[in-house]
Structure 1
Amino acid sequence: MSEKSTEQLADEVLKKYDNESNTINYKGFMAKVVSAIAITFSIFQLYTGAFGVLDAQLQRAVHLGFGMALIFLLYPTRKKWLKSGKVHPLDILLAILGAASPAYIVLEYQQLVLRSGTVTTMDYIVGSIGILLILEATRRAVGKPMLCVVLAFLAYAFAGPYMPGVLAHRGLTPEQLVGHLYFTTEGVFGIPLGVSSTFIFLFILFGAYLEATGLGKFFIDLANAIAGWSSGGPAKVAVISSALMGTVSGSSVANVVGTGSFTIPMMKKLGYHKNFAGAVEAASSTGGQLMPPVMGAAAFLMAEFVGVPYIDIVKAAVIPALLYFTGICLGVHFEAKRNNLKGVPRSQLPKIWTILKERGHLALPLIAIVYLLVAGYSPMRAALVAIVMSIAASFVRKATRMKPIQIIQGLEKGAKGVLGVLIACAAAGIIIGVVTKTGVGLKLASALIDLSGGMLLPTMFFTMITALILGMGVPTTANYVITATIAAPALIKLGVPVLAAHMFVFYFGIIADITPPVALAAYAGAGISGGNPLMTGVNASKLAIAAFIIPYIFVVSPVLLMVQATPLEMIMATITAVLGMIGLSSSMIGYLADHCNVPVRVLLFVAGLLMIVPGVMTDGIGIVIFGSILFWQMRLKKKKAAIAG
């Protein structure tokens, strides 16, 4: 497959499985109009980030107005209009209304404050139009599943008197609902859109500039130099580069396409089956949202929901992310050993010191952002500094230097990149508004506990299933908001630490992207590899086994989240958990030092689980079982080698 055809395939896959990327490509005058709006949007965000944000509702209203105007211009009413490259008058009208409805809040802000909740006829009309436009923008930029979830919550707001049992409530009038959702900070303009209008936008803009500097190629070359020579090297390159790319791309599908168009053909050429090659990239790319320091958009929401600094979320995510990617690396290593797949000769790989010397400076903004967060800077301030540093770092060498036009294009790309998250946050605000106004959140949390008989393990299981089902069509951001509002309180009621409960739903909201039957990242990986999407999803789930187990562990024992733990406990928990991942990965693949039959795989799985669970007794039993199997297999392999020799 030629480089050109690979790029074309990647673009087709991205548009097919990533709704946010399926935008119209304008030329001429309309291209300039859209660019001007997007660049102005970014300048507004940079200005308020540098000199102070506006009052909450004003900041969020301007943010939403820019976003809605761009969505209606970039995502046409009908998909067949995408190829025309021309704007339809209907979309222009909707774009104007999309900007005007939030602008009403800006223009009438003082009067709205004085009225303090009283909704006039004009307020009701504007608010109704605004909510309808948010629903349509959600359909276009996020997809119908998300729209259906929001519509279900809106229907519940009116159907309260007719609902059975604990779900019943007095019901809301249209005026009450519109007033609460559109003219307070508890609905559309609530916490999710607030986070989008401050932290998330700037971090997405930061990612756009990092990508423009060529950091993605640096990551791939660095991963090649580190692991390309080892057994199954290209697969390990996929894991490492995708983990690093998680700092640039917050989308699982975009990450799969970005690195997979390079790594998947390499894996297939080496000898990996196409279903496995696509799965490696899907599992690795999905984990990008779990990878500190710049995680998915939902991580910023978590910091606000839990009420802790973002750096605390980053610290809590370090050990689970390490275990996640360790598990995938081990999985591809054992698969390579099982099939005797070699790496790429060192002579064909770039030299690590040469790469660091030529392009290592591009990673300085990432180092800076970690330092700034640890030093106590707000995420918004840290992102601002990092954006400036990413541009400045590119000027260190002529080969990486950004041209003025690229700096301007970065502003445009950042604004376009936030649209899916922005409208998902606005739609999630509608859900939160209904939940708070009807009180259904606490009712559902209580119902979840009753269904589980008041036991923690079944409650966690039902919460996991809820997050995975929602993840079939709802983006990670909205998935987290819904489960954090409804399911996390149930876990907290049962004594789970707040951070652990929220991290639990966050993990399963992300891992839904590779969980069959609807696994968008796996479908994207299969689209590039030519494999079967379902089998690619199954293989990806096996590789990402850590993500299905570790959340249960850190809920029961928050040591893995660095909560209520001494440094020694954290070190010991990490070491034994890594050993546990070796056991689990070898069990999933069927190879440790030699091929494993079914009973041995079962024992390895049990040993792996025991070592991941923090505790002297569990660690000891797990190590004994694992060590015995490893010793026995190594002796057996020596005997086979002696007989063969």
Structure 2
Amino acid sequence: MKDDKPQDQTIDLEEIIRQYDTESQYRTLSGWQNAFIVAVACAMSLFHLYTAGFGLLLAMKQRAVHLAFVLFLTFLLYPATKKSPTNKIPWYDFILACAAAYTTLYIVIHFNQLITRAGLPTTMDILVGFLGIALLLEATRRVSNPVLPILAIISLVYCYYGRYFPSLFAHRGFNIPRIINHMYLGTEGVFGVPISVSATFVFMFILFGSILQETGMGKFIIDLALAIAGRSTGGPAKVAVLSSAIMGTISGSSVANVCTTGTFTIPLMKSIGYKPYFAGAVEAVASTGGQIMPPVMGAAAFIMAEFLGVPYIKVALAAIVPALLYYAAVMVQVHLEATRLGLLGLPKERLPRLWSLLKSKGHLLIPLFAIIYFLVGGYTPMKAAYYGILTTIAVSFISKDTRLTLPKLINGLVNGARGSLGVACACGTVGIIVGMATLTGLGLRIASLIITISGGNLIVTLLLTMVTCILLGAGLPTTANFIVTSTIAAPALLQLGVAPMAAYMFVLYFGIAADLSPPVALAAYAGAGIAGADAMKTGITAVKLALAGFLVPFIYVMNPMLVLVNATPLPFIQAIVTAMIGVFLLGMSTIGYFKTHIPFWLRVVVFCGALGLLKPGIYSDAFGLAVLIFTYFFQKRRAKRQ
């Protein structure tokens, strides 16, 4: 058997990250320009740390300063085109960076005057607002892709030319001063809820994850997963699932998770006999689930809490059962595939010892427990992240190997600031789309249209919403996808009586699913790049492995108890148990193996049994359990004969 460390690979990991994670396509600088960027990024992180610990600025000022840092760094770090220099900052980007910072700080400098003349902007206000929106769209294009800025531009055009649209979507139209005043000088557009969450909760959790990574948390997570699952059947694949799930508790980026854990787990899976495309798909599915894994979920979860008007801890608690079902489904399929192929685990001597590992680096788990403690204790997410960062710095000194030296701490501050740029730009730009919906009332019109098309049928409405989320996810980052679909599609679910927590969680899941769904499946393609596999085949396999993730949202819409809506102990436990068994049957149906090969007709029956167990109800549960018992004895008999 090959060594369990990643072999000398012909792949260029940095190139893979840059190819599939647009936020990683930043300039590599040196000399005084690099020192300048480090200084500005550190200043940005320290500003957010200070305000989190000692009190935020007034809401509009906090958001404006946050966006000023973001736009300034984005224009300096991200080239305008592929032909632009990547090893130095050209003079025109310095000008754009300063102009972008001015347009946002204008709100801070003239805050009192803007408040006094609210609704009556001056010519200067309009000019600054126009320039600020244009520069925000350009920054978003650089750090992400053109899709979101194009949607924002269409939204602005719709605001102006509304009277010329078909009657279903028509409105009286608004003049340019009114549009800019709504979008830029108030809290309905660019400086609305999305950028508010980015400027507080999201930035602090990104910074928390960045500083925690500097302690060596990434390697500790992989070693911990190896110690727990390495010896079991198909051990390396289970290590991938487990390590990605744990990594997901501190990182909400699918592609980043793939590239962090996948560089180790994918070669390890290949070394014991997994096909390259399957290894890449396992890592992609496991890493994507990190965005729904409490306590630190993806940025969209914090925005969901704001939209629902509930504490973030309620969203995190509601996500626990769906996340467990998601990972249970992946783990079942990995186990059945390994059993089918006869793949063994790793020898004991090649694995770290769990107790020794916990003694040497177990203290790195303390910040995670601290975050949970503070969230449960009623602290705001921002305050919980603040104390989590302080805890991380303190516990890092327990061991020399994990100690946060000054260079490591600076690196953590820089990476935290840089890691927030894509999310912040997306939040600012998608605020324009949200502002359009509030200004024109489009959200309610589309909700009515969806209900009309579906004939008021909930399942059809859910399917239409799912397709919308996945299509938007083909070009939008998860956070922007969630905000757009929750503004446009979620109201239709709410009108049909779906519990708000279940409706928004449904939208969140399918926004995340876009990272796995071809033709634009960034997490799957990143996994394929590391595995050296066919990208499309890896994406299709990832969709199969994530099938439970695609079905579970339908289940908790039907049975919102799974997201803790009106949950009572005994029915809640029953729902979890039957859902877990349903997930097991779903895995059997997908892989087509249990003790021996499952014939096609039985796979169909097993799939129906899985749906029966996933759907709440005595008769459906009874049918699912009957299918499970029949399949067990039928397959056992077939295996014995073979």
Partner residue, 1:60: 63
Question: Does the alignment pair 1:81 with 2:84?
Answer: yes
Q: Does the CA contact (< 8 Å) of 1:166 and 1:443 recur in 2?
A: yes
Q: Deviations over 1:263-305 (max 9, x none)?
A: 1111111111111111001111110101011000000000000
Instruction: State the Cα distance separating 1:609 from its structure 2 match.
Output: 1.2
Instruction: State the Cα distance separating 1:487 from its structure 2 match.
Output: 0.7
Q: Does the CA contact (< 8 Å) of 1:67 and 1:419 recur in 2?
A: yes
Query: d(CA) in 1 for partners of 2:152 and 2:260?
Result: 31
Letter in 1 for 2:420: V
Q: Does the CA contact (< 8 Å) of 1:282 and 1:522 recur in 2?
A: yes
Query: d(CA) in 1 for partners of 2:365 and 2:74?
Result: 32
Query: d(CA) in 1 for partners of 2:250 and 2:18?
Result: 19
The change in CA–CA distance for 1:429 and 1:7 in structure 2 (over 3 A counts) is farther
Q: Does the CA contact (< 8 Å) of 1:7 and 1:261 recur in 2?
A: no
Partner residue, 1:632: 634
Q: Does the CA contact (< 8 Å) of 1:101 and 1:127 recur in 2?
A: yes
Question: Does the alignment pair 1:240 with 2:242?
Answer: yes
Letter in 2 for 1:66: F
Q: Structure 1 vs Structure 2: percent identity of aligned residues?
A: 51
Q: Secondary structure at the match of 1:167?
A: coil
Q: Secondary structure at the match of 1:395?
A: helix
Query: d(CA) in 2 for partners of 1:298 and 1:5?
Result: 37
Q: Does the CA contact (< 8 Å) of 1:23 and 1:82 recur in 2?
A: no
Query: d(CA) in 2 for partners of 1:450 and 1:561?
Result: 28
Match for residue 453 of structure 2 among 444, 451, 454: 451
Partner residue, 1:597: 599
Query: d(CA) in 1 for partners of 2:252 and 2:82?
Result: 24
Instruction: State the Cα distance separating 1:471 from its structure 2 match.
Output: 0.3
Match for residue 21 of structure 1 among 19, 24, 31: 24
Q: Does the CA contact (< 8 Å) of 2:140 and 2:149 recur in 1?
A: yes
Query: d(CA) in 1 for partners of 2:585 and 2:106?
Result: 59
Q: Secondary structure at the match of 1:122?
A: helix
Q: Deviations over 1:323-369 (max 9, x none)?
A: 00010011111111111111111121111111111111001100111
Partner residue, 1:643: none
Partner residue, 1:512: 514
Question: Does the alignment pair 1:215 with 2:217?
Answer: yes
Question: Does the alignment pair 1:249 with 2:251?
Answer: yes
Match for residue 586 of structure 1 among 574, 585, 588: 588
Match for residue 389 of structure 1 among 388, 391, 397: 391
Q: Does the CA contact (< 8 Å) of 2:473 and 2:481 recur in 1?
A: yes
Listed as ranges, the gaps of 5+ residues in structure 2 are: none
Letter in 2 for 1:471: G
Match for residue 542 of structure 1 among 521, 544, 560: 544
Deviates more, 1:403-412 or 1:432-441: 403-412
Letter in 2 for 1:12: E
Q: Deviations over 1:138-197 (max 9, x none)?
A: 100011122222222122112211100210011121111111100000000000000000
Q: Deviations over 1:211-245 (max 9, x none)?
A: 11111111101111111111111111110001111
Query: d(CA) in 2 for partners of 1:556 and 1:291?
Result: 22
Partner residue, 1:32: 35
Q: Secondary structure at the match of 1:337?
A: helix
Match for residue 571 of structure 1 among 565, 573, 576: 573
Letter in 1 for 2:299: A
Q: Deviations over 1:91-135 (max 9, x none)?
A: 111100111101110000000000011110000110000000001
Query: d(CA) in 1 for partners of 2:9 and 2:577?
Result: 40
Match for residue 355 of structure 1 among 336, 339, 357: 357
Match for residue 102 of structure 1 among 97, 101, 104: 104
Match for residue 368 of structure 1 among 367, 370, 393: 370
Q: Does the CA contact (< 8 Å) of 2:6 and 2:267 recur in 1?
A: no
Letter in 2 for 1:263: T
Query: d(CA) in 1 for partners of 2:201 and 2:463?
Result: 32
Query: d(CA) in 2 for partners of 1:9 and 1:287?
Result: 25
Instruction: State the Cα distance separating 1:443 from its structure 2 match.
Output: 0.6
Query: d(CA) in 2 for partners of 1:250 and 1:346?
Result: 32
Q: Deviations over 1:429-457 (max 9, x none)?
A: 11111111111111111111111111111
Instruction: State the Cα distance separating 1:8 from its structure 2 match.
Output: 6.2
The change in CA–CA distance for 1:326 and 1:3 in structure 2 (over 3 A counts) is closer
Q: Does the CA contact (< 8 Å) of 1:559 and 1:614 recur in 2?
A: no
Query: d(CA) in 1 for partners of 2:547 and 2:99?
Result: 47
Instruction: State the Cα distance separating 1:81 from its structure 2 match.
Output: 3.0
Q: Does the CA contact (< 8 Å) of 2:6 and 2:263 recur in 1?
A: no
Letter in 2 for 1:357: K
Q: Does the CA contact (< 8 Å) of 2:11 and 2:530 recur in 1?
A: no
Q: Secondary structure at the match of 2:398?
A: coil
Match for residue 47 of structure 2 among 25, 37, 44: 44
Q: Does the CA contact (< 8 Å) of 1:6 and 1:261 recur in 2?
A: no
Q: How does 1:238-637 map to 2 (within 5 A)?
A: 238-637=240-639
Q: Secondary structure at the match of 1:265?
A: helix
Q: Secondary structure at the match of 1:401?
A: coil
Deviates more, 1:566-575 or 1:471-480: 566-575
Query: d(CA) in 2 for partners of 1:402 and 1:324?
Result: 34
**Size of the alignment, in residue pairs?**
639
Deviates more, 1:110-119 or 1:346-355: 346-355
Q: Secondary structure at the match of 2:410?
A: helix
The change in CA–CA distance for 1:308 and 1:361 in structure 2 (over 3 A counts) is same
Match for residue 13 of structure 2 among 7, 10, 21: 10
The change in CA–CA distance for 1:8 and 1:213 in structure 2 (over 3 A counts) is farther
Letter in 2 for 1:576: T
Query: d(CA) in 1 for partners of 2:143 and 2:9?
Result: 26
Instruction: State the Cα distance separating 1:607 from its structure 2 match.
Output: 1.0
Query: d(CA) in 2 for partners of 1:86 and 1:538?
Result: 40
Partner residue, 2:186: 184
Deviates more, 1:102-111 or 1:409-418: 409-418
Query: d(CA) in 1 for partners of 2:369 and 2:196?
Result: 26
TM-score by length of 2: 0.98
The change in CA–CA distance for 1:340 and 1:306 in structure 2 (over 3 A counts) is same
Letter in 1 for 2:553: P
Q: Does the CA contact (< 8 Å) of 1:49 and 1:198 recur in 2?
A: yes
Q: Secondary structure at the match of 2:594?
A: coil
Q: Deviations over 1:49-77 (max 9, x none)?
A: 11111111110000000000000000011
Deviates more, 1:190-199 or 1:402-411: 402-411
Instruction: State the Cα distance separating 1:505 from its structure 2 match.
Output: 0.4
The change in CA–CA distance for 1:427 and 1:358 in structure 2 (over 3 A counts) is same
Query: d(CA) in 1 for partners of 2:47 and 2:177?
Result: 32
Instruction: State the Cα distance separating 1:616 from its structure 2 match.
Output: 2.2
Letter in 2 for 1:59: Q
Q: Does the CA contact (< 8 Å) of 2:252 and 2:297 recur in 1?
A: yes
Query: d(CA) in 2 for partners of 1:295 and 1:387?
Result: 17
Instruction: State the Cα distance separating 1:7 from its structure 2 match.
Output: 9.4
Query: d(CA) in 1 for partners of 2:351 and 2:18?
Result: 32
Query: d(CA) in 2 for partners of 1:7 and 1:291?
Result: 33
Q: Secondary structure at the match of 1:80?
A: coil
Letter in 1 for 2:49: L
Deviates more, 1:440-449 or 1:142-151: 142-151
Query: d(CA) in 2 for partners of 1:8 and 1:201?
Result: 32
Q: Secondary structure at the match of 1:582?
A: helix
Q: Secondary structure at the match of 2:249?
A: coil
Q: Does the CA contact (< 8 Å) of 1:526 and 1:533 recur in 2?
A: yes
Query: d(CA) in 2 for partners of 1:519 and 1:150?
Result: 23
Q: Deviations over 1:586-619 (max 9, x none)?
A: 1001101211110111111111111112222211
Query: d(CA) in 1 for partners of 2:472 and 2:255?
Result: 17
Query: d(CA) in 2 for partners of 1:610 and 1:346?
Result: 40
Q: Secondary structure at the match of 1:516?
A: coil
Instruction: State the Cα distance separating 1:406 from its structure 2 match.
Output: 1.1
